[in-house]
Amino acid sequence: MAGESQFTIGARATCTDGHCGEVRRLIIDPATDTVTHLVVQPGHRQEAARLVPVDLAEATDDAIRLRCTLAEFDRLDHAAERDLVTGAGPVRPGGRFGLTEGPSAGAWRQTATFEDVIPGGEDEVGPGDPVLAVDGEIGRVQGFLVNPDDDRVTHVLLQEGHLWGRKEVAIPISAVIRIDEGIRLNLTTEQVADLPPVA
C-alpha cells in the first residue's frame, strides 16, 4: 500500500494560504472506482461546505493540502443546496430554528431544508457510514487509500474500534460490490478479520 494517498474523513484541510476546514465526505464514481471530489466543511459551521475536485487535493501524513487559495476555495461549488419551504401550521414563538413568527396556529412559517449535492452518477461516503460484510456489519468507514496517478480507490479503511479491537484494516476495493447506504462487501466477517493490519 506504499505510495497511495490516504483520504481520511475528518482530516484537516489547508489551502496554500491557511486552514480551510475538515474533510466531511468523499464523492466516488462507482463506474470507475475513482474519488472525484472531497467535501470540505469550513471551520465555521454556518459556512457552506465546498465540493473540492480531487485534482486540487494532496494527502499529507496528517492532513489534506489543497492547491488553491482561501479565496479560490470560497468560490468552489457548495456541497449542499438550501431550500426554503413555506407552509401553514402550528408554530411556537422562537421555534427551533428561529424561523417562525407569532404564537398562533396556522401561521405561515419557513423551514430550511438542505440536500447534499452529488454529481450525476456518483455516490457519497460520509463519516461513520457502515461497512457490511456478507454476514453483517463489521465497522464504519474511516477513509480510502487512493492511487495518486489516476485517483482510483485501492482500499477502504475501517474506523478504529471495530470487531477486532483497535486494529485498522484496509479492505481491497475488489471486495466492494456496491456503495448503497454504506459499503457492501463480498467478504465474510472472518475473511475481513484475516486481512493484514494497516501499517
DSSP-derived pairing of the beta strands 5-8 and 136-146 = antiparallel
Residue range 49-58: average pLDDT?
92
- pLDDT(166) > 80: no
Q: What is the pLDDT, as a whole number, of residue 35? A: 86
Residue 144 and residue 99 in one domain: no
DSSP three-state, residue 74: helix
Looking up residue 45, the CATH number of its domain turns out to be 3.90.50.10
- pLDDT(86) > 70: no
In whole angstroms, give the CA distance from residue 188 to residue 165: 17
Q: What is the pLDDT, as a whole number, of residue 97? A: 42
Q: Is residue 185 part of a domain?
A: yes
Residue 67 and residue 87 in one domain: no
Q: What's at 129, amino acid-wise? A: D
> What is the sign of the dihedral through the CA atoms of 84, 85, 88 and 90?
negative
- pLDDT(51) > 70: yes
Q: How far is CA 165 from CA 143, 195, 197, in A?
A: 18, 14, 11
Would you place residue 15 in the very low, low, confident or very high pLDDT band (cuts 50, 70, 90)? very high
In the numeric block, the cell 455516490 is attached to 123
Looking up residue 154, the CATH number of its domain turns out to be 2.30.30.240
Q: What is the pLDDT, as a whole number, of residue 159? A: 64
Residue range 23-38: average pLDDT?
85
Residue 70 and residue 87 in one domain: no
Residue 85 and residue 31 in one domain: no
Q: What's at 133, amino acid-wise? A: A
Q: What is the pLDDT, as a whole number, of residue 110? A: 45
In whole angstroms, give the CA distance from residue 151 to residue 155: 12
Note down the domain range covering 43: 5-74
Q: Is residue 54 part of a domain?
A: yes
Q: Is residue 66 part of a domain?
A: yes
Contact status, residue 187 vs residue 172, Cβ threshold 8 Å: no
Residue range 75-93: average pLDDT?
59
Total domains in the fold of the chain: 3
Q: Is residue 199 part of a domain?
A: no
Q: What is the pLDDT, as a whole number, of residue 26? A: 85
DSSP three-state, residue 54: helix
In whole angstroms, give the CA distance from residue 84 to residue 161: 39
Residue 28 and residue 85 in one domain: no
Which range of 28-32, 55-59, 108-112, 149-153 scores highest in mean pLDDT? It is 55-59
**Complete DSSP assignment for 157-177:** EEPSSSTTTT--BEEEGGGEE
In whole angstroms, give the CA distance from residue 127 to residue 9: 6
- pLDDT(162) > 90: no
- pLDDT(58) > 60: yes
Residue 146 and residue 176 in one domain: yes
In whole angstroms, give the CA distance from residue 51 to residue 40: 7
- pLDDT(14) > 90: yes
